[in-house]
Structures are given as structure tokens and as C-alpha cells.
Amino acid sequence: MTQRKRALLTGITGQDGSYLSEFLLEKGYEIHGIMRRTSTFNTDRIDHIYEDPHSSDARLFLHYGDLTDGTTLRRILEEVCPQEIYNLGAQSHVRVSFDSPEYTVDSVGMGTLRLLEALRDYQQRTGEEVRFYQAGSSEMFGLVQEVPQKENTPFYPRSPYACAKVYAHWQTINYRESYNLFACNGILFNHESPRRGETFVTRKVTRAVARIVAGKQKKLYLGNLDARRDWGYAKDYVRAMWLMLQQSEPEDYVVATGETHSIREFLDIAFTRVNLNWQDYVEIDPRYFRPAEVELLLGDPTKAKTKLNWEPSVTFKQLVELMVDADLEAIGQPCQNGNGGPLDHAMIRANMTSFVS
């Protein structure tokens, strides 16, 4: 009987960790995820795929650990003996990284180094190849030096988060070249979904749309509406991570849609989905401005398309609408009218009488 492949994931409880776990389970993998101990449950995104580990069918296993704790990472690696590692764990919020720079750099930068060190020793000791995926970010391009951004576009990071990702990126290359590790950097542009954290701008908007429709929120406070991002669908992006580790050579890849849109465009589509004008609800709160902003990101995914045969499957408009619909559903509001069109305006107004005159 052939042994099933084992994958070890950091960040399994996050947006990408949950989609990647689903994807790998479908491919027949056994999954081991490292999760932080928290005083309340943090497994919402993976509860639907979790099985009692006592069951003989169980293929998803969770281990307590933290990227700031190298001893534990090492122990888990020795126990699990994976064929693939996906390093998705991070303090991933750019604005928060200005408030907590040391912790961000510790988890994102040093965390990656700790994992690479453990992997280097494991591979040297056992002689077994373990393929490594590093979750790099378009934030590394920061103050962009070239449009669109490609694999060889110079980095100009603009936040503690982005500086730490650049460090992790180069350490991954350094370990590949120094110790012959099969280590790949994905340079992923923003990717979103109904599982996106509620404080990232896309989810903040779609969740607010649903809450406004339900009469639970009156205003939406945002920062810089002029920033432009290359937004894709998270489910598509985890497929690219896996594809990178299935190639004959370890390389780095940009994963993006090749389109850029402003926060205003996102607002337009999101509020139009429920027949509202975003201008009636959105207010600017300077607290959401960043000390240094990344104004424009636009990726060139040509390499991923040609070498990995990867394509995004969801358009920008579809992405916004699927996120709005999911938030409406989560709050108990019907997503669409009987004709499959946007929600009925009068019905929304009826639900909003508490605050709309």
C-alpha cells in the first residue's frame, strides 16, 4: 500500500490555511496543522473538516505551536515527518504591524528562519527531501519600482510586515542555495474570500454591507480609498501554492490576477449588489491611514500561468459579489431576489427603518 503524503502547515486556522487544508484533503493528503493556544477557540475556519483524531479515518491533525517557539517547531517536524511544509503563519495585518513591529518581525521573519533551520537539520539527518512553501507577499513591492510587478521587480517594503516578508523571502532563497532545499517563495497579491479576516478592507466592506442591510450598522469608517490592489480569490491562490511544490525545480512565482482596482471600485460593486450608494454610508477615519502607504499593486502572473498552468477562476466583480452574498447569508439576509438579481431595494429600506429616514 502506498503511504499517503503528509503536509505540515503553519497558519492552518487562517484564511489560506483553511482553503489549503480542504484542497490537500481532496488530493488525499494527511494534514498536520500548527495552531496557537488561545483562550477561546480559533478553529472556526477548519471546524467543518476536523475529525476526531481517535477515528481511524482522521486525516487532519492539530498541534499546538507558535512561530516564535523554535523548539516546538522542531519537535513537531520530527514527529510528523512531512513531505511538504507550507509556512502560512504570520501576524498578517499591515496596519497592526506598525503597532506591534517586534512581534510581527518575530513571527514573520524569525519564524520563517526557525522553520528553515529545523528543516535544514531534519533533511541533513534523515536524507529525506521536504518541500517548503514560503507565503511571500506583494506588500514586499511597496513603493513600486515597476508596473506591473514581476518575480524580479526590486522590493521596496513600506511596513514592518513587508520588511519581515522580504527577510523571509531572501532567507528562503538563501537556504535553497546553501543547503539544496526544495524551497519556493510564492509572491501572492491580495486574495480574499468570505473567510477573510474581518479587519482587512474587503471583508470590512462586505460585512458592513450585510450589517447595514440588516439594520445593525449605520456607517462604515475607512481610511485611504484611493489605494489600488490586485485582488483575487483565495481558493485559486492556494492551488498555486501546491502547484509550486509539484514542479521539478524550486522557483519563486508571482500569483496575481493582472488587474488593479481601487477601494472605491470595490465599494461601488459591494453596495450596488444591495442597491445602495456607498457615498451615503462611508466616512473617512484617519485612524485607518498608515504611516507609509502602498498606493498601487498590480501583478504580472505570466510565469505562474505558463509554468504552473495556473489561472484565476473568479473575476473581480464575482469576488466582491460572492463576499457580499456570503456576509448577507451569514447575517440571515436573503442574498438575491427571485430573478437572481440584486436584493430588492424596498426590502432593504424596510430593514433599515431604525436609522434611515
Q: Which residues bind ligand F7E (CB under 6 A)?
A: 92, 94-95, 137-139, 189-190, 199-202, 204, 222-224, 227, 229, 263, 288, 290, 293-294
At 249, which amino acid appears?
E
Paired sense of beta strands 60-64 and 84-87, if any: unpaired
- Residue 100, helix vs strand vs coil: coil
Kindly tell me which of 222 and 270 has the beta carbon lying closer to ligand F7E: 222
Min dist. Cβ of residue 322 to ligand NAP (A): 16
List residues bridging with 9 in a β-sheet: 33, 86
224 binds, among ligand F7E, ligand NAP, none (CB under 5 to 8 A by kind): ligand F7E
149 binds, among ligand F7E, ligand NAP, none (CB under 5 to 8 A by kind): none
Residue 288: count other Cβ atoms within 10 Å of its Cβ: 14
Min dist. Cβ of residue 130 to ligand F7E (A): 24
Kindly tell me which of 15 and 333 has the beta carbon lying closer to ligand NAP: 15
Active site residues: 137, 139, 161
- Residue 91, helix vs strand vs coil: coil
Kindly tell me which of 10 and 153 has the beta carbon lying closer to ligand NAP: 10
Min dist. Cβ of residue 269 to ligand NAP (A): 18
Min dist. Cβ of residue 36 to ligand NAP (A): 4
Kindly tell me which of 21 and 333 has the beta carbon lying closer to ligand NAP: 21
Helix or strand (DSSP H, E) at 296: none
- Residue 85, helix vs strand vs coil: strand
Min dist. Cβ of residue 326 to ligand NAP (A): 16
Whether the Cβ atoms of residue 271 and residue 211 lie closer than 8 Å to each other:
no
What b/e string do you get for 317-335 counting C-beta neighbours within 10 Å, with b at 16 or more? eebbbbbbbbbbeeeebeb
Kindly tell me which of 243 and 263 has the beta carbon lying closer to ligand F7E: 263
13 binds, among ligand NAP, ligand F7E, none (CB under 5 to 8 A by kind): ligand NAP
Q: What is the binding site for ligand NAP (CB under 6 A)? A: 10-11, 13-17, 36, 38, 42, 66-68, 88-92, 107, 135, 137, 188, 190-191, 197
Residue number of the CB atom closest to ligand NAP = 14
Sequence-distant (6+) residues with CB within 8 A of 267 are 205, 225, 278, 282
In the chain, where does DSSP find H-type helix? 15-26, 70-80, 94-99, 101-105, 111-126, 160-179, 201-213, 234-245, 263-272, 302-307, 316-330, 345-351
14 binds, among ligand NAP, ligand F7E, none (CB under 5 to 8 A by kind): ligand NAP
